[in-house]
Structure 1
Amino acid sequence: MINKLIFLFLLFSIVEASANVKEKIIQNLKSTNNLTFNFEQNVNGKTENGHCALSYPQKIFCKYNLKNNKILVSNGKSIVIKTNSSYYLYPLERTPLNLILNKKFLINKIENLNERILDNKFVNFKFFEEDFEVNIFFDYNTLDLIGWQTTDIYQNLSITFLNSVEKNQKLNSDLFDLPQQN
Structure 2
Amino acid sequence: MFKYFLIYIFLVLISNAHASNKDKIIENLKNTRNLNFDFEQNINGKIEIGNCTIEYPKKIYCKYQKNNKILVSNGKSLVVKTITSFYRYPLNKTPLNLILDKNFLIKKIENLNERILDKTYINFEIVENNSEINIFFDDKTFNLFGWQTKDIYQNVNVTYLSSIQVNQQIDEDLFILPTQN
TM-score under structure 1 length normalisation? 0.89
How far is 1:127 from its partner? 1.2
Alignment of 1:25-174 (within 5 A): 25-66=25-66, 68-174=67-173
2:48 aligned counterpart, secondary structure: strand
Q: Which runs of 5+ in 1 are unaligned?
A: 1-15
CA distance in 2, matches of 1:84, 1:118: 39
Residue 176 of structure 2 corresponds to 177
Task: Report Cα offsets for 1:113-146 as digits up to 9, x if no partner.
Answer: 0001123200000010001100000000010001
CA distance in 2, matches of 1:57, 1:165: 18
Residue 4 of structure 1 corresponds to none
- The letter of the residue matching 1:146 is F
CA distance in 2, matches of 1:79, 1:119: 33
- The letter of the residue matching 1:58 is K
Q: Which runs of 5+ in 2 are unaligned?
A: 1-16
- The letter of the residue matching 2:140 is N
CA distance in 1, matches of 2:129, 2:94: 10
CA distance in 1, matches of 2:53, 2:126: 24
Identity of aligned residues (%): 62
Task: Report Cα offsets for 1:28-80 as digits up to 9, x if no partner.
Answer: 000000000000000000000000000000000000000x2000000000000
- The letter of the residue matching 2:98 is L
TM-score under structure 2 length normalisation? 0.89
CA distance in 2, matches of 1:102, 1:83: 26
- The letter of the residue matching 2:110 is E
- The letter of the residue matching 2:123 is N
Moved over 2 A (4+): none
1:88 aligned counterpart, secondary structure: strand
2:104 aligned counterpart, secondary structure: helix
Computed over aligned residues only, the root mean square deviation of the Cα atoms, in angstroms, reads 1.1
1:160 aligned counterpart, secondary structure: strand
- The letter of the residue matching 2:57 is P
CA distance in 2, matches of 1:125, 1:146: 12
CA distance in 1, matches of 2:169, 2:69: 23
